Structure 1
Amino acid sequence: MTSPDPDLIVRIAARGDGVTADGRHVALSAPGDRLRTDGSIEAGPHHVTPPCRHFPQCGGCQLQHLSDEAFTDYVRDRVAGALAGQGLSAQEVAAPYVSPPHSRRRAGLRALRLGKRIQFGFSEQGSHKLIDLRECPVLDPRLFALVAPLRALFATMLPDRQPGEADLTLVDQGVDVVLSGLRVDGLAQTEALLDFARENQLARLILIDDDAPMTIWEPEPVTVRFADVLTGYPPRAFLQATEDGEAALVAEVRQALGGAAMVADLFAGLGTFALSVANDVPGRKVYAAEAARDLVMALRAGGNRLPGRIFPEHRDLFRRPLTPAELNRFDAVVLDPPRAGAREQVAQIAASQVPLIVYVSCNPASFARDAVMLAEAGYRIERVKPVGQFRWSTHVELVATFRR
């Protein structure tokens, strides 16, 4: 049996570096590349020309040099590898879902004015230096269309050498824009902001001044939609990165829940899962717990459109997780915690008798750590679905189904 070529790149590590057969990490390499003796890379079949002029300096993407096949493999291996690192495996690792280019529906962009020169875009990889964005194969075109107008706006209202920010989100009415760092001193500048919102047909324009949000423009209430259920959208509230990625996550949750009649949705947010699945099964009731008060209020308003289906509660699940006695009322628990995972709540679930757990995660590492507690309590990982919403990024999400 021949030994593997020690200079061959055989996989991509969690942070995006290629790894040779003998364990060396090589930046900006792809599976099938070879590391030459001088440290340069001999490109293999999965090393492609990046589609964006700003790569690799821009911090938005780390893996544009990978072929579609290699990137999809990375998404799958990122999840399977995190489980293997904890001594776990799933009965099935489903084919990954990967969002297409030009599908990102939210973005946070930064601005800096240096004299008459304005920079506007994402930060460089591992730096506070800005990339002045001139193209972006990741953003939805409706977001990118605002880059040039926002650059011009910041050029007139951003104080010299002071940072500014623009948070953009696609909502039902168009693009919701939240700006910070601008100096708005009088009526003329306020009218200029109104003109900007009107000319660019914004859904809403909010100005953050001394940490207090002020709505400048909102011709009609801003909403988002989950399974045709409308709910209000608080400024900067969390939404899944892409609409298609959200649909992939919801479809996997829906499949896992089957006919479960009593469902708990923990870390429910605006109701991405609660509102999407509440009407799937006759008589289904969904309890939804969320710590952010504005999100609970929006979820409650959306739930009012499904009378007797949604039961929101304002509850911090890190400080006050549901107890086994509370959990035992449910046929299934859906949880979608922040990146750090849900150690406190998972410990309570592990001590409960809930037969079905559907864990949605944006961090395979913290998910795998939590999964150990469930495995030790007798749950088996029936299926894991990797989802790559963040195209060409090392950020990977998943849905895992646990049963016992």
Structure 2
Amino acid sequence: MKRWPLLFLLISLCLQLRAQDLDILIKGAYLIDAKNGIRDSMDVGVLAGKIARVAPQIASGDAKKVIDASGLILSPGLIDLHTHLFVGSQARTFADGFSSVSPDNFSFRSGITTMVDAGTSGWRNFETFKKNVIDASQTRVLAFLNIAGTGMSGNPDQENLLDMDPEKAFETLLQYPDILVGIKIGHFTGPEWTPFENALQAAEMANKPLLVECHLPQYTLAQQLEKMRPGDILTHSFEEIEERMPIVDEQGMLRSFVKAAYDRGILFDVGHGGAGFWFSQAIPAVQQGLTPHSFGTDLHRFSMNSGMKNMLNVMSKFINIGMEVNDVIERASWQAAQAIKRTDLGHLSEGAVADLTLLKLHEGEFGFIDAGANKIEGKYKLETELTMKGGKIVYDLNGLAAKKYTY
């Protein structure tokens, strides 16, 4: 009989250990998870780097650390579909150069857990990019491979037709299928269709999307969209540069061939950059039903200090010109993941990697700037409160997860 108290003690200890089966519990946030159709206040529990539980109520005693997220938005980790990250020592280039930026410097503070490099490297120098940047970054870095062998290395190298080898590009895609999400064509000024056709060939062989960065002045936008397949991505979608034919005409009307491409499944990415986003294009496009599928920033050394700022600033612009907050966040997470065929990302399903972002929607008086230094005023602005990557807190603006220091 004397063994019963000891047995009860052991059972009690086991129950306590079992009760605290979560590493982190986030309570009371408004959860936006497009894949699972959730737009509601929910609790989310994290264990061993994965989403362990999602429920309307999870007891605080079930977790080692509890974060009170009342009044905040809980989103899957955001995905920036257009960045330039191949930072290196070359002074005047993007490929291995100063014009690119280091991903960890800009990702987590903007709620981003996955950055996609937009073809800064090609098949000749991708392994350098992988070794020096991708493997060294805490941010998940994926990439489109440039059809130009040396990527965005400046002229004349990046316009060398002989170096735009679809077979070599395809071989590189096969070698790194978990990192390389597609092929990119852009920054070509010649009259030949060879770069576009070779890029499309490599993308078709790999069954991956083609990213079209419309710096192709010899090809009309109509011609480019006609060649693109459903699931291919046009970036700089709201650019207003006449030789590249904006998507909205002089009368403010969405061009009929643009609407037709949108309806047949061509994806439109923002690609804000330093010159790629104009209110004169975005506002009438949104009003006429063409909303972006993703919010690529075109992050690089110049754009981050101009009108673009960061991805949340880009998303906030679209909220203030008429898109719903829920819709904007869903496109910045789950739709972006689907666009690059990485459906393991962009959602908070139980068992998924615990990449998540806590956002605050501020209400006040804010100004937003486009590529032409035009300004609109808006009432809403998103800001990151906390970012988690693989179950680890990597950014915490106001110490939501920190221990309170008393003095």
TM-score, structure 1 normalization: 0.29
TM-score, structure 2 normalization: 0.28
Greater relative contact order structure (CA < 8 Å, 6+ sep): 2
